[in-house]
Amino acid sequence: MRNQSKFNFEKFVHAELGGDFPVSEPDFNTRSENPDINPHIHDAFEIGYCFEGTGIFIIGNKVFPFKKGDAVVINSQEVHIAKGSPGTLTTWGWLYLDPVRMLADNVGSFGESLKISRYCGSGFKNVVDGGENPQIANCIVEILLENSARKPNYRPMIRALTWRLVLLLERYHEVGHDPTEVEQDYKAVERIVPALKHIGEHYDQDITISELARLCCTSEPNFRKLFYKAMRCAPRPYLMKLRLNAACSMLKNTQDPVLSIAEASGYNNLSNFNRQFKSHFGMSPREYRGK
């Protein structure tokens, strides 16, 4: 049966870039816990900076906690969506750009640094911890602010900062992965968009595979196949990773008791939460909070 859900997914969401200067207008926004945005892919290199709030970023089959001062880097190959921590608002600045077009005249011997397709895959951490990598996070926020203020010579300044960003990413952020690792089966992604959105908004509740299959208007066995084709992992491990990383964000950014965090992450049993957390991260939730 063809998916007749209300959700739509296009292969790429078009980013408006200037013809002679391929950078979009910056977008500074504040959003609620569950913004009205579907999982999506942009047709440009996307960078962002978190000015306020905490939450999780779901990028492909990866899940990253984020907080104020962190940045994000996403190329045009990974489906993604963000979710704020329960009951909170998040404020971000976003910008799209094409580093290859912008810097092509001055590539010289540094052309390898502009292979933006390498910035993806299981080994690439799209969310940049501002405390661990302040140079990268600060560079991204400088690009956003330069393009917002547009003072004299802002274009050469943005070009210089973009060069700095790609070189810093190459030096410190484990780029160089095979881009074919994350080649999306766009038809499969389109079919499971309702499930991805439902998981992102309701991971703290009981979620069954049969429920997700119904949202996608397909059978449970076919849903499992579609999900694996789209995300390179099964639905249950994907949901577990999302819940555990949501817990990480709350452990680091709130003083809530571990029991409350377990429940807010979708675990009704504290011992089960502690066991899965330690198995995944190699330490208990309390140890993680104290490190």
pTM over 0.85: no
Which residues constitute the domain of residue 102?
Answer: 27-180
**One domain for residues 58 and 142:** yes
DSSP 8-state secondary structure symbol assigned to residue 72:
E
- Residue 208 burial (CB count, 10 A): 10
Statement to judge: residues 37 and 166 lie in one domain: yes
Burial of 191 (0-12, 13-18, 19+ CB in 10 A): buried
Do 66 and 166 lie in a common domain?
A: yes
pLDDT score, position 274: 93
9 occurs within a structural domain: no
Q: Which residues of the chain have pLDDT under 70?
A: 1-12, 36, 105-114, 173-185
Do 170 and 205 belong to one domain?
no
Query: How many domains does the chain contain in total?
Result: 2
pLDDT number for residue 105 = 63
User: Which among 97, 157, 165 has a CA at the least distance from the CA of 136?
Assistant: 165
pLDDT score at 2: 36
DSSP line for 10-47: -S-BPP---SSS-BPPPEEEEE-SS-S---B-BSSEEE
The answer to the question of residue 20 being in a domain is: no
| Neighbouring-strand partners of residue 13 | 42
Domain boundary, last residue among 127, 147, 180: 180
pLDDT at residue 150 in the model: 92
Secondary structure of residue 125 in the 3-state scheme: coil
Q: Per residue, what are the HEC states of 208-252?
A: CHHHHHHHCCCCHHHHHHHHHHHHCCCHHHHHHHHHHHHHHHHHH
The whole-angstrom separation of Cα 48 and Cα 127 is 9
Last residue of a domain, one of 138, 163, 180: 180
Q: Is 157 inside any structural domain?
A: yes
C-alpha distances in Å from residue 156, one per residue of 61, 72, 229: 36, 23, 42
Output the pLDDT for position 273.
Answer: 93
For residues 122 and 147, state if they share a domain.
yes
Instruction: Give me the sheet containing 90-97, strands edge to edge.
Output: 27-31, 90-97, 45-52, 71-74, 127-128
Asked, for residue 238, whether it belongs to a domain, the answer is yes
Looking at residue 172, which CATH number applies to its domain?
2.60.120.280
| 127 and 99 part of one domain | yes
Residue-wise pLDDT for 263-287, tens only, equals 988 998 899 999 999 998 899 999 9
Kindly tell me the sign of the dihedral angle through the C-alpha atoms of 145, 51, 77, 197.
Answer: negative
